[in-house]
C-alpha cells in the first residue's frame, strides 16, 4: 500500500480536489484506478513528408461508455472535476510518452482554465522540473489550448503562458475557426502554433471560399509570427492543395490515424502526394461585386433645395450653376426627391409658368422616387440603374449618400463608365459567359507551376472560322459554340491535374500536368468537330460550310467551324514568368491554325505528336461525312 502511495499517479491525485479523490462518480473512480490511456496521432511536415510531432489523445477503457474524449469531458462537467480531469490527462500523456521513448515533439491538450490552475498547483518556477521528473524534455512539449469555456481572466492566463515559455515548452492554439477559438485569444496568447479547424480544410480543393479564408489566416499568421498546422486532412487532393499553399504542417487520417504506438513515417499514400512535384489546381473564386465603388468616382458636390424651396429659386440655382444636370431636394440631411434640369427648365420656360407656379414649392415638379445609392454600394446596385425600364434614372443620374445622409450627385455618364470598367476587371478573373477562370487566374496558376519547377504543357485553343459563323447565325448561337468548347475542355481535362481557362472570345488556355495530354487534346478536337456540326443548318452541313463576308467585306465560302490547339512543353528552368509561356503558346496557336490539322506541338513533334496530327487529319473526314 505504501508503494502505491509513492507512485506518480497517487502523488498527482493527492494534489487534486476532494471530489476527485473521494468522488463516487464513474469518472472519478476511473481516474483513481488509472483507467485512462493515450493514443498518439502524427503531425507531418508537409514540405519534407516526415513525421514532425505527435498529439496525445486521451481515451477511456475500450468498449465502455467513457471511451471517447467527448464522453469523458461531458462526464467531468457533470461530476464538477473538469480541471482535475484535464490535468490528469496531461500527466497521463507525459508519462506514457516517456515510456515510448519516441522522437519528436508532443502536443498535449489543455484548456486555458486548467492551464492556469495547473501552473498554480505545481508552481510557476517548477514546471520544467515536474516535466523532467516524468521523463519529458520541456523543449519538446507543446501545450495546446482548447477553449472549452471563454477565457475570463486574460492577464492571469498571460502569466501562466509566460511560466510555460519559461520552462522551455511551447504553446499552440487548437481548432482556430471552429467558433470558440477567437482572434483576440490568438492576439493575447501569441502562440507558437495555430491549428486550423478542419472546417476550412475538408474538401478545400473544391471550395474557393475556404481557400480564400485559409489565405487570410496565413496573412494573420505572418503578422504574429505563428506556425500553422492544418487539421482534418483526409484526401490526397486536400493534402496537395495545402502543400502548395505552403502550410508547413498537417494532421489527419490520411497522414496517420491515432494509435497506441507513435508512427515513424506518414502513410505511404500521403508520402506519395507530398513527394509528387505536380502542382494542385486550386479552386477559383471569381471577383465578386466590388464594394465601395463610388469612393473611386467623382461625386458632384451640388447645392440642394428643400421641399419648400420655390420654383423661382430652383430656376435661379440652375442658371447660376450651368454645369448642374440635376438638383437634389433634401429634408434636413435626408434626400427625398430629384429635379432634372432639362425637364424643369422646359416647364419653367412655358407661358404663364412663372406667374402661376413661380412661388410655389418645387416638390410638385420633382421626381419623388429618385435612385439613391450609398457610397459603399457594390456594382450590382449600379447595374440596376442601367437596366431599369425607367430611363429617368439614367438621365437624372443618382443621389449619393453616406450612411443615409446626402453627399452629392452622380451622372449617367460616370455610371456607365464605372460599370463597364468593373465588368472588364471582373472578366479578367472569371469569364461571364463560361464562368471559367480568366486571365489573372490563368497567369497565377502558370506562375505557380514555374515557381515549383514542375513540367507542364501549355495549350492555346482557338476556333477556326468562328467570326463568319457568329455573323451568319448571330451571337446567341455563337455563345453556344463557345460554351461547347468550355464544356468539352472541362470534360476531357483532369480537374485535379489540369487547368482550363477562358482568355476571352473564342480563345482558351489549357494547362496540363496529365501525362496523356496529347490524347486529351485529340479527344477535345474530335468531339468538337462532331458536336459543332449540330449548330449548323442542314444546308450548311451538306455543303460543308457557309457563305459569309470575310474581314474585308468580301463574300466567300467558309468551312464549318473547327478547333485548333497549339501546345508548348514547358520544362523546369526554361522560363521564369507566366507571360513568356502565354506568348509562346499564342505562337503555337497560330501555327496550329495555319497547319489546319488541329493540334501542333511548337518546336517539333515526337511520335505521339505525329499520332495526334494523323488523328486530326481524320477529323476532316468527319466533316466531309
Mean pLDDT by 10 residues, the chain (625 residues): 51 68 84 90 94 95 92 91 89 91 90 89 80 87 79 84 91 78 79 92 81 86 91 92 91 95 94 87 59 60 92 94 91 93 92 92 91 74 60 73 88 69 61 84 91 92 93 91 94 91 92 93 94 94 91 89 93 91 92 82 53 40 41
Please state, in angstroms and rounded to a whole number, the distance separating the CA atoms of residues 21 and 12.
10
User: Which residues are paired to 170 by β-bridges?
Assistant: 142
- The pLDDT of residue 141 is 94
Please state, in angstroms and rounded to a whole number, the distance separating the CA atoms of residues 609 and 296.
51
Please state, in angstroms and rounded to a whole number, the distance separating the CA atoms of residues 12 and 444.
56
Please state, in angstroms and rounded to a whole number, the distance separating the CA atoms of residues 207 and 244.
15
> What's the grid cell of residue 191?
502562440
pTM of the full structure: 0.66
> What's the grid cell of residue 470?
457568329
Burial of 366 (0-12, 13-18, 19+ CB in 10 A): buried
Q: Quick one: angle between helices 475-492 and 517-532, nearest 10?
A: 150
The sheet with strand 456-464 has its strands ordered as 499-504, 507-512, 456-464, 562-570, 599-601
How distant, in Å, are the alpha carbons of 74, 76, 337 from that of 66?
9, 10, 69
- Phi and psi, residue 363, nearest 5°: -60, -25
Left if phi > 0, otherwise alpha if psi is -120 to 50, otherwise beta: which for 163? alpha
User: What are the residues whose beta carbons fall under 8 Å from the beta carbon of 251, sequence distance 6 or more?
Assistant: 41, 42, 43, 44, 55, 195, 229, 230, 231, 232, 233
Amino acid at each position: 500500500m505504501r508503494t502505491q502511495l509513492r507512485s506518480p499517479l497517487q502523488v498527482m491525485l493527492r494534489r487534486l480536489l476532494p471530489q476527485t479523490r473521494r468522488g463516487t462518480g464513474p469518472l472519478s473512480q476511473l481516474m483513481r484506478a488509472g483507467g485512462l490511456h493515450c493514443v498518439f496521432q502524427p503531425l507531418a511536415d508537409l514540405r519534407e513528408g516526415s513525421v514532425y510531432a505527435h498529439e496525445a489523445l486521451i481515451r477511456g477503457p475500450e468498449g465502455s461508455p467513457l471511451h471517447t474524449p467527448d464522453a469523458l469531458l461531458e462526464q467531468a462537467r457533470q461530476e464538477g472535476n473538469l480541471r482535475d480531469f484535464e490535468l490528469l490527462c496531461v500527466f497521463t500523456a507525459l508519462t506514457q510518452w516517456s515510456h515510448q521513448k519516441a522522437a519528436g515533439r508532443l502536443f498535449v491538450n489543455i484548456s486555458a482554465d486548467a492551464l492556469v490552475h495547473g501552473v498554480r498547483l505545481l508552481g510557476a518556477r517548477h514546471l520544467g522540473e515536474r516535466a523532467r521528473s516524468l521523463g519529458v524534455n520541456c523543449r519538446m512539449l507543446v501545450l495546446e489550448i482548447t477553449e472549452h469555456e471563454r477565457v475570463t481572466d486574460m492577464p492571469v492566463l498571460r502569466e501562466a503562458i509566460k511560466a510555460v515559455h519559461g520552462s522551455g515548452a511551447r504553446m499552440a492554439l487548437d481548432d482556430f475557426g471552429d467558433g470558440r477559438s477567437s482572434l483576440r485569444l490568438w492576439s493575447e496568447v501569441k502562440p507558437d502554433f495555430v491549428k486550423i479547424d478542419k472546417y476550412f480544410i475538408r474538401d478545400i480543393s473544391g471550395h474557393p471560399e475556404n481557400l480564400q479564408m485559409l489565405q487570410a489566416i496565413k496573412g494573420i499568421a505572418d503578422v504574429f509570427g505563428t506556425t500553422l498546422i492544418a487539421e482534418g486532412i483526409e484526401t490526397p487532393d486536400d493534402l496537395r492543395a495545402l502543400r502548395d499553399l505552403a502550410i508547413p504542417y498537417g494532421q489527419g487520417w490520411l497522414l496517420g490515424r491515432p494509435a497506441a504506438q507513435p508512427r515513424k513515417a506518414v502513410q505511404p499514400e500521403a508520402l506519395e502526394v507530398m513527394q509528387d512535384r505536380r502542382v494542385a489546381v486550386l479552386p477559383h473564386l471569381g471577383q465578386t461585386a466590388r464594394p465601395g465603388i463610388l469612393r473611386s468616382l467623382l461625386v458632384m458636390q451640388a447645392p440642394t433645395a428643400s421641399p419648400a424651396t420655390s420654383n423661382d429659386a430652383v430656376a435661379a440655382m440652375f442658371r447660376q450653376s450651368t454645369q448642374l444636370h440635376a438638383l437634389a431636394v433634401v429634408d434636413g440631411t435626408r434626400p427625398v426627391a430629384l429635379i432634372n434640369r432639362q425637364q424643369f427648365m422646359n416647364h419653367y420656360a412655358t407661358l404663364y409658368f412663372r406667374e402661376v407656379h413661380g412661388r410655389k414649392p418645387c416638390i410638385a415638379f420633382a421626381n419623388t422616387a429618385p435612385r439613391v445609392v450609398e457610397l459603399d454600394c457594390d456594382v450590382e446596385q449600379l447595374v440596376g440603374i442601367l437596366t431599369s425600364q425607367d430611363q429617368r434614372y439614367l438621365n437624372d443620374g443618382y443621389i449619393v449618400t453616406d450612411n443615409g445622409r446626402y453627399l452629392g450627385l452622380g451622372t449617367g455618364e460616370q455610371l456607365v463608365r464605372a460599370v463597364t470598367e468593373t465588368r472588364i476587371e471582373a472578366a479578367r478573373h472569371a469569364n461571364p459567359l463560361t464562368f471559367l477562370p480568366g486571365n489573372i487566374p490563368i497567369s497565377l496558376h502558370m506562375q505557380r507551376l514555374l515557381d515549383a519547377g514542375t513540367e507542364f504543357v501549355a495549350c492555346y485553343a482557338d476556333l477556326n472560322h468562328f467570326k463568319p459563323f457568329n455573323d451568319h447565325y448571330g451571337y446567341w448561337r455563337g455563345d453556344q459554340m463557345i460554351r461547347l468548347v468550355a464544356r468539352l475542355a472541362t470534360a476531357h481535362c483532369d480537374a485535379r491535374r489540369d487547368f482550363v481557362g477562358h482568355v476571352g472570345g473564342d480563345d482558351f488556355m489549357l494547362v496540363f500536368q496529365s501525362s496523356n495530354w496529347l490524347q486529351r487534346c485529340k479527344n477535345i478536337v474530335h468531339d468538337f468537330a462532331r458536336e459543332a456540326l449540330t449548330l449548323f443548318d442542314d444546308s450548311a452541313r451538306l455543303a460543308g460550310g457557309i457563305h459569309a463576308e470575310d474581314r474585308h467585306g468580301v463574300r466567300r465560302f467558309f468551312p464549318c467551324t473547327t478547333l485548333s490547339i497549339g501546345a508548348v512543353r514547358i520544362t523546369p528552368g526554361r522560363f521564369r514568368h507566366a507571360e513568356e509561356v502565354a506568348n509562346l503558346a499564342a505562337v503555337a496557336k497560330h501555327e496550329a491554325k495555319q497547319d489546319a490539322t488541329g493540334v501542333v506541338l511548337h518546336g517539333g513533334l515526337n511520335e505521339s505528336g505525329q499520332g495526334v496530327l494523323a488523328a486530326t487529319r481524320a477529323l476532316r473526314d468527319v466533316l466531309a461525312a
